[in-house]
Amino acid sequence: PFDPFSAFLDEMGQTVDSVEDGADADNNDDIEEAEFEEYDNQDEENDEDEEDEYEPMYDTTGAPLRPKSERLALRAGYPSGGNFAVIYLAGFQHKVTKDDLLVVNKLKPVSEWSVGSTHTIKGDDVLLVANQYKTCVGLPGVAGAEVDVMVEEITRDKTLVIFKKRRRKNSRRKNGFRRQVTFLRVLDVRMPEGEAVADGSLESESIAA
């Protein structure tokens, strides 16, 4: 049968096989380009996955990253913050939970409050202790409640500038002051024995004196 397409190719000096070969080459180029695009997309996805895997889990202080609302809830003892206490130390009251860092005035004697030493605060120095199930208020202290702390560092606070001026008297005075401080890490907060059970049920309803 007569093939007008073959006659046209003969006039143009080409053959059907050469045209098919050219079409196959173009298809191969398209396939290679598509494969390169797929590889590029896979590389981008792998990079994104690696970035997700290496997101920081802790802040500069070493504490795990949490939303502010969750941090406040944990500090308040709810829903899973455990026990918290209010203690009296170095002339100030502090509300503490486990793993908290306290910055207090330098505790003396240094031989007793040396770096690395652990101390148990109890008696009248524990003013209140509580969890999500019960609160014990001391009069003035909670009997049987204990708070363990460890001395992490003894250093000086940031500089406080004290500037005084008397106008029209050509009198100025500028001084700096750095107070000495002790860093304390809260290791544990313990409720009085027999006050609360792990599942939240109460064994004793009496208020600790």
92-104 pLDDT per residue, tens: 999 998 888 899 9
Average pLDDT over residues 122-132: 90
Tell me how far apart the 2 most distant CA atoms of the chain are, in Å. Answer: 120
Among 61-65, 126-130, 159-163, 172-176, the least confident range: 61-65
Task: Tell whether omega for the bond before 67 is within 30 degrees of 0, i.e. cis.
Answer: no
Amino acid present at 183? F
Place of tokens 């401080």: 181
Contact 200, 133 (CB under 8 A): yes
Confidence (pLDDT) at 182: 94
pLDDT level of residue 69 (50, 70, 90 thresholds): confident
pTM (2 d.p.): 0.54
pLDDT at 21 over 80: no
- At 74 the three-state DSSP class reads helix
| Mean model confidence pLDDT for the chain | 76
What is the distance between the alpha carbons of residues 106 and 180, in angstroms, rounded to a whole number? 5
72-85 pLDDT per residue, tens: 776 665 555 578 89
